[in-house]
Amino acid sequence: MIIGIISGIIAGFIASKLTDGQGKGCLVNLFLGLVGGCFGGWLFQQFGLQAYSWAGEIVVAVVGACVLLWGWNKLK
């Protein structure tokens, strides 16, 4: 549980830095990382890909969060 929260914060922070160049805050980064992890897992599954390590899960969550942030910025 704690590792999942830490992973979510890290993934959300990396994704927000990649898309906007600035962090969004701890809670927003956590939300982005957790939702991005779910979305990224679904997205990677559609292509037949799977993460086998903690680093792979971070990559999946970052990709998912980046896609979500990109979509959110397009809606603004």
- Supply the pLDDT for residue 23: 65
33-45 pLDDT, tens digit per residue, is 888 888 888 999 9
Please, are residues 65 and 38 in contact by the beta-carbon 8 Å criterion? no
Element (H, E) at 29: helix 26-46
Say what the alpha-carbon torsion angle 49, 63, 39, 27 is, to the nearest 10 degrees: 140
- In this prediction, residues 31-58 reach a mean pLDDT of 88
Pairwise CA distance, residues 42 & 58, whole Å: 14
pTM of the model: 0.84
Element (H, E) at 6: helix 2-19
Lowest mean pLDDT among 4-8, 42-46, 61-65: 4-8
